[in-house]
Amino acid sequence: MISTPKFHSLQSQIILSILLAVVLAAAIAGIPTLWLIHQQLNQQAWAQVDSGLQAARALYDARQKQMLRLARLTAQRPSLPSLMANGDQAQLLAYLRTLQSGENVDLIVLCDPQGRVVLSTAKPPTPDLCQGLEAGSFYAISPEVPPQVWLMASYPIPGEAGALGNVALGVQLGEDFVLQARRQTGLEHAILFDGLTIAASNAAVPQNLATLSPDQSSLSTPEAAVCCTYEVENQPFYAARLPLGRGSLEAEVALPVTGIAAAQTRMLWISAGSLVVIVLVGSALGALLARRLSHPLEELAGAAGRLSQGDLSSPVEIDTRIIEVAQVSQALESARLDLSKTLGDLQAEKGWVDHLLESIVEGIMTLDEAGNIAFFSHGAERITGWSRDEVLGRPCNQVFQAAGEGVIFSDLLPAPGQKNNIAVRLAGGREITLAVTRAQLIPAGRLHQEHQAVAAGEGEVAIVFRDVSQEETVHRLLGYFIANVAHEFRTPLSALAASVELLMDQAPELSQAEMGELLRTLHLGVLGLQTLVDNLLESASIEAGHFRVSPRPSDLKKIIDEAVATMHPLLEKYNQRLVLQVPQELPDVLADPRRVAQVLVNLLSNASKYGPSDEEIELKAAFEDGWVRVAVADRGPGISDGRREMVFRRFEYPSAAEGPTKVGAGLGLSVVKAIVEAHGGRAEVEDRPGGGSIFWFTLPVAREI
């Protein structure tokens, strides 16, 4: 243990607490004094507000009396009743406007005894102003936004048979009025209605009273309500309000207390000066001692920060005589060296693991205990099409959606050590089949209880998967293909066996017609087998890459005649009529006759197979822009738009999506497309008007016409 003087220990530095003691003593001595000064100045300010409020009350009372007196004088003018009786509205309006100008009011309204407006020099504040009028003064609020405030006074107009109505005079309490009030009271003045400022002597009155600070100081004016204190543009105000009449109409006086605040500040500075000197002396001493302690601690904190950010190359060296800080510095340096060595070992192992994971073709991901994806390898990215950033932290059931209604991906996961094939939907709606294996990652604290941890489902789950969609597809198509080929062979072979057996047993007894029918059946069976074998051989040749054609100038009409002759027994069996539309001037084509005849046989065979009996099949040929277009049209169920590209693939069948699919090897049209494209032409299918399909292909001409 290192022995150092006692005053070098960390405890000796606690003397810095004297700074707190000095500040506390200064606060105890100075705060009451400062509070008393503040209270005294605050009372003086509210006294001025109270005086201004009383002056405002007197101003409003005087103005009300003045308005009532003017209303009485106006009502008692002898000319007014005679003009009203005369009924000359223009002359009466001119007279009222003369009175308005002479009496310095903003509005004169004549009301009849029924409370209706007879004539007005300006728009009345409210539509019902004349209703219920009596002699006296009152305040009127206009309904518009923002509203206008009017001080009104009314008086009855005397007549020989009683009152002719009432006359009402009004002045708008606007900017001119509040400026006059400021001159008479010495304070800022404002008129408010429902908390909204209607008129103010300057911009010092806030518009939103919800932002003001309430004050509960007492005033001598009984009906006054203390409002608040507020600041506008850094200028403080004390304000009080006086209710005007009924409702929420109020007058506000506001005292700018900038000068008072400045005087208060000067007094506070004088009172606090001596306290500040003590605080400064104590602060200087405290700062000196704090510096001795804080500087090495700051260096130590910086070293710890560098360690937390991964900087293990900078040594921890703290120059200090404080034993506790020196001990912490030595401990940090030892920890830095250990971490540096451990981190180097971990980085080497991580690099090896990352290289291993990169070389694995299969996808690897781990799930936490909540079923969220915690790790996603590059192989998993390649297989699924999702990036690591897109899936990390998301539930695996949300990312991997099992194909099938109501099926959950996690429910299909195999037990540890087993494998399941799971069909899932991936990015862009793509469906693939994954071969999935699963392993339980045991928590580090329970490695000695591996079986219990696996049974409890604790720790993360590692899932390894690979895409076996192509294998599944090939396996499924191969089985389907073998079944169809077997069926295709079984049907003509059964017919051939039956016909041969009948010939062997009953040949002497058969008539010439019966013998011909049996031979035709044998011929059709052989023809079907020959077509199937040709397609199988051509498909195998195409798959192996050995498929070739030998084009030469050929007479297409002869090729068509050969194919028609081959297919004639089959068409005759189903009573199907072949209609040929081949022009005599058709040019020679550059083609392999045997291959093109095979194309025509396949197309005519499909037209017969999928077309109804007792129906026509059309075969057309035409010259178009250097190509000969050959088309076979049937009246079958047709082919939907979504399947037109698929019918020329292997193991697909040229049937409507909605109709039943006839059994077949699914090779004929793929061979057709391969042969035609090998000649440089095109093979397509389109709808036939009136129902059915038109399969057509093009061949290059050997020479121009």
- pLDDT at residue 454, rounded to an integer: 46
Instruction: Write the CA distances from 63 to 56, 68, 172, 587, 625, integer angstroms.
Output: 10, 9, 12, 117, 106
Give the Cα separation of 68 and 55 in Å (integer).
20
- pLDDT at residue 209, rounded to an integer: 46
- pLDDT at residue 581, rounded to an integer: 92
Residue 16 pLDDT exceeds 60? no
DSSP letters spanning 322-359: -HHHHHHHHHHHHHHHHHHHHHHHHHHHHHHHHHHHHH
In the chain, what is the straight-line distance between the N-terminal and C-terminal CA atoms, in Å?
A: 114
Torsion-angle region of residue 602: left (phi > 0), alpha (psi -120 to 50) or beta?
alpha
User: Which tops the pLDDT comparison, 25 or 149?
Assistant: 149
pLDDT-derived band at 658 (thresholds 50, 70, 90) equals very low
Torsion-angle region of residue 648: left (phi > 0), alpha (psi -120 to 50) or beta?
alpha
Mean pLDDT of 130-148: 85
- Residue that the structure tokens 């590209």 belong to: 645
Give the Cα separation of 226 and 233 in Å (integer).
22
- pLDDT at residue 621, rounded to an integer: 94
Helix (H) or strand (E) segment spanning residue 535: helix 512-544
User: Which tops the pLDDT comparison, 284 or 491?
Assistant: 284
Portion of the chain with pLDDT greater than 90, in percent: 11
Mean pLDDT of 320-348: 77
Portion of the chain with pLDDT greater than 70, in percent: 72
- Residue that the structure tokens 């998967």 belong to: 465
Give the Cα separation of 366 and 202 in Å (integer).
71
- Residue that the structure tokens 């009409």 belong to: 557
Q: Which letter, b or e, does each residue of 549-569 get, where b requires 16 or more Cβ atoms within 10 Å of its Cβ? A: bebeebebeebbebbbebbee
- Residue that the structure tokens 């909540």 belong to: 370
129 in helix, strand or coil? coil
User: Which tops the pLDDT comparison, 664 or 130?
Assistant: 130
| Most confident range, picked from 393-397, 405-409, 539-543, 693-697 | 693-697
Residue 551 pLDDT exceeds 80? yes
- pLDDT at residue 656, rounded to an integer: 45
- pLDDT at residue 219, rounded to an integer: 63
DSSP letters spanning 561-612: HHHHHHHHHHHHHTTPEEEEE--TTPPPEEE-HHHHHHHHHHHHHHHHHHSP
Task: Flag the least confident range among 294-298, 499-503, 612-616, 636-640.
Answer: 499-503
Residue 675 pLDDT exceeds 80? yes
Q: Would you say 465 and 383 are in contact if contact means Cβ atoms under 8 Å apart?
A: yes
pLDDT-derived band at 453 (thresholds 50, 70, 90) equals very low
Across all residues in the chain, what is the average pLDDT? Answer: 77
User: Which tops the pLDDT comparison, 343 or 636?
Assistant: 636
Mean pLDDT of 330-335: 79
Helix (H) or strand (E) segment spanning residue 540: helix 512-544
Burial class for 684, CB neighbours closer than 10 Å (0-12, 13-18, 19+): middle
Task: Flag the least confident range among 187-196, 305-314, 321-330, 533-542.
Answer: 533-542
Cross-strand pairs, 196? 193
pLDDT-derived band at 668 (thresholds 50, 70, 90) equals confident
- pLDDT at residue 617, rounded to an integer: 93
pLDDT-derived band at 544 (thresholds 50, 70, 90) equals low
Instruction: Write the CA distances from 648 to 359, 666, 671, integer angstroms.
Output: 38, 9, 8
Give the Cα separation of 552 and 590 in Å (integer).
5
Q: Are strands 117-120 and 136-141 parallel, antiparallel or unpaired?
A: unpaired
Tell me the pLDDT tens digit for each residue of 370-393: 889 988 888 888 888 888 888 898
Q: Tally helices (H) and strands (E) across the chain.
A: 15, 24
Residue 210 pLDDT exceeds 50? no
Give the Cα separation of 138 and 141 in Å (integer).
10
Task: Flag the least confident range among 120-124, 223-227, 399-403, 660-664.
Answer: 660-664
Tokens representing 659 are 């109709």
Tell me the pLDDT tens digit for each residue of 555-583: 999 999 988 887 888 788 888 999 999 99
Residue 10 pLDDT exceeds 50? no
Residue 287 pLDDT exceeds 70? no
User: Which tops the pLDDT comparison, 259 or 419?
Assistant: 419
Tell me the pLDDT tens digit for each residue of 599-609: 898 899 889 88
- pLDDT at residue 280, rounded to an integer: 73
